Amino acid sequence: MFRAVPDRGSIVDVTTTESLEFTFNPEEISELDGAEWAKQKVQGVHHPRLQYGSGKGRQVSLVLRLYGPHKNKTVRQQVNWLRSLAYPDLEIDAVPHRPPHRVILNLGNLYRRETWVVEDVNVEWGQFTPDLEPITAVVKLTLTEYRVAAVGFREVRDN
């Protein structure tokens, strides 16, 4: 049976098209967004005049609970794939020559058009096999929206 919206979320690397399907969807997602306002003092006026400086860049934080193996990947492989998204591609001279890997966060219709960059990957390893191979992990991800064009209030409101 075809479903327009998948029942499990995923993260897709736009550069390589590799993806990680979530074992379980995140229980909650938090967003942080805002603007930087320049405050100009005006003599004789109580409040400063505010002038738009720039956006802060929208961030999304979510917690993934990983269990392994999942889709033929160990927990360590799943975590290392997520961690790798926070690093640049390096050429022979060890200098980043490409922009960071952008990712798509597939969570139904919540994030339909946005691309993101992985900022932080915080891992808490859980249960272990007798050989001390992790079989669970809790991964806290922070993603920052990747934009090259300006965004106005109408675009945000009508999205």
Q: Is 1 a member of any domain? A: no
**Predicted pLDDT at 84:** 93
Among candidate residues 62, 53, 55, 75, the one with its CA nearest the CA of residue 27: 62
| CATH number of the structural domain spanning residue 46 | 2.40.30.200
60 occurs within a structural domain: yes
Q: Are 106 and 6 in contact (CB under 8 A)?
A: yes
Query: How far is the C-alpha of 50 from the C-alpha of 42, rounded, in Å?
Result: 10
In a domain, 109, yes or no: yes
Angle at 110 between CA 87 and CA 88, to 5 degrees: 10
Instruction: Quote the pLDDT of residue 5.
Output: 55
Count of beta carbons in the 10 Å neighbourhood of residue 4: 6
pLDDT at res. 116: 95
pLDDT reported for residue 10: 94
CB atoms within 10 A of CB 35: 11
Stretch (H or E) spanning 140: strand 136-145
Distance (Å, whole) CA 130 – CA 1: 40
CB atoms under 10 Å from CB of 43, counted, come to: 4
In a domain, 132, yes or no: yes
Question: How high is the pLDDT of residue 145?
Answer: 93
Provide the residue-wise pLDDT of the chain in tens; the chain has 159 residues.
Answer: 444 556 889 999 998 999 999 988 999 999 998 888 888 888 888 888 888 877 788 899 999 999 988 888 999 999 999 999 998 887 656 666 677 789 999 998 888 789 999 999 999 999 999 999 999 999 999 999 998 777 777 777 776
* Chain length of the chain: 159
Contact 68, 78 (CB under 8 A): yes
Give the pLDDT confidence score for residue 93 in this predicted structure: 64
Burial of 105 (0-12, 13-18, 19+ CB in 10 A): buried
Q: Is residue 58 part of a domain?
A: yes
The range of the structural domain enclosing residue 99 comes to 10-158
Antiparallel, parallel or unpaired: β 116-125 and 29-32: unpaired
Q: Within a domain: residue 138? A: yes
Tell me the C-alpha to C-alpha distance, in Å, between residue 158 and each of 3, 131, 154.
Answer: 26, 52, 6
Domain membership flag for residue 3: no
